[in-house]
Amino acid sequence: MKTRITELLNIEYPVIQGGMAWVAEHSLAGAVSAAGGLGIIAAGSAPAEVVLKEIRMTRELTDKPFGVNIMLLSPSAPEVAQMVSEEKVAVVTTGAGNPERYIDMWKAAGIRVIPVVASVALAKRMEKYGADAVVAEGCESGGHIGELTTMALVPQVCDVVSIPVIAAGGIGDGRGLAAALMLGAEAVQIGTRFLVADECIVHDNYKERVIKARDIDSVVTGRSHGHPVRSLRNTMTREYIKLENEGKGFEELEKLTLGSLRNAVMDGDVANGTVMAGQIAGLVVKRQSCAEIIHEIMDQANERLAVRGSYNE
Ligand code: TUI
C-alpha cells in the first residue's frame, strides 16, 4: 500500500507506532520499524542523554527509519529538541503542545516534522510553519487528549491542509486503517495495540489489564483543570474522579498521579498507577509480535478495501 506518507517516510506500510511515554523505547520502536512500519521512541519526560541512548540502541536494531516523539509539556523538551537535530533522526513527532519554535531547526537538519494535533486550527498553523504532515488525534486515544473524536477531526483536518494527514485515536486493526483512508488520511498512528506487543517492555500486569479491558473500561480524568488524560479505570481513577467531583484543585489532584504512569508501566501497579490506554483497548485480545500485528492490520485493511467496490453491484 503506497500513500504520500509511505513515500515521505520511506516505509513499507502506512502504520506508525504511537510515541507512548515510558513505554515506547528502543525495543518497541526498533521492532515496528524493522517490520516495515514507523517505530517511534517516546522522549516523555526523560532528559536528552537518556533519549540519545535510546536512539543509539534503536540504530543497533534496525537500519530502517524511525522517529522520536517529543512531549512538549516536559521540562526537557528544549534539550531533546536540540539533541534530535544534532542526531538527524529521520522523523520527529510532537505532542501536548505547539512545536512551532523548533520546526525551522528540525527542517534544517533534514528531519521530517509531524506534529500531533487535536484541532483544525493547530493543523493549519503547523502546515504554515513547514510541517511535513500532521497526526490528527481524536479523543479515543489513551493519554493526554483533545475534545474531538477521530471521526469528526480527521476529515475536517484533511479539508484544510494540503500536507498528508495521519489518523490516530480509536484505531487498532485493519478496519480502522481502511476507515481512516476513507476519511482522507494516508496512514494511521496506533498506540494501544502495540502495548501488548512481545517487544513492548510494559509490565505484564499492564498488558493483562489491556487484554482484559472491555469497551467501557477507559475513563477521562483531569477535565476539570484542562489536562484531560484517558486511562483504564482503577482505584486511582475512582479516587481522582471523586476528588474532581468534590471540586478539588489541580495541585491536590496531581498528588494522586505523580509518578503514576511509571509505576504502572515499570512496576506493574495497575491499581494505583495510571494505565494509559485508548478506547480501542476492548479490541486488543492477544499478545503478538510487532510484525504479526502489522501484517494482520495490512491483510485486514486490504481485504476491506477490496470489498468496497461491491456495495454498488
Ligand atoms: O501528547 C499526547 N498524548 C500524551 S502525552 C502524555 S505524557 C503526559 N502525562 C501526564 C499528563 C500529561 C501528559 C500522555 N499522552 N497526544 C498528542 C496530543 N496533543 N493530544 C492532544 C494534543 C494537543 C493538545 C493541545 C496538542 C496541542 C495542543 O495545543 C497546543 C496549542 O498551544 O495550541
**Alpha carbon nearest to ligand 1 atom 4, residue:** 144
Find the 304 Cα to ligand 1 centroid distance in Å.
32
Find the 204 Cα to ligand 1 centroid distance in Å.
26
Our answer on whether the CB atom of 3 is closer than 6 Å to any ligand 1 atom is: no
In contact, 89 and 69? CB cutoff 8 Å? no
CA distance 13 to 306: 17
Find the 261 Cα to ligand 1 centroid distance in Å.
15
Q: Which of 116, 144, 149, 257 to mutate to test the pocket of ligand 1 (most atoms within 8 A of CB)?
A: 144
Per the confidence metrics, is the pTM higher than 0.85?
Answer: yes
Our answer on whether the CB atom of 294 is closer than 6 Å to any ligand 1 atom is: no
Each residue's pLDDT expressed in tens, for the chain with a length of 313 residues? 999 999 999 999 999 999 999 999 999 999 999 999 999 999 999 999 999 999 999 999 999 999 999 999 999 999 999 999 999 999 999 999 999 999 999 999 999 999 999 999 999 999 999 999 999 999 999 999 999 999 999 999 999 999 999 999 999 999 999 999 999 999 999 999 999 999 999 999 999 999 999 999 999 999 999 999 999 999 999 999 999 999 999 999 999 999 999 999 999 999 999 999 999 999 999 999 999 999 999 999 999 999 866 776 6
| Residue in 81, 89, 77, 79 with CA at minimum distance from that of residue 29 | 89
> What residues contact 285, with CB distance under 8 A and at least 6 apart?
211
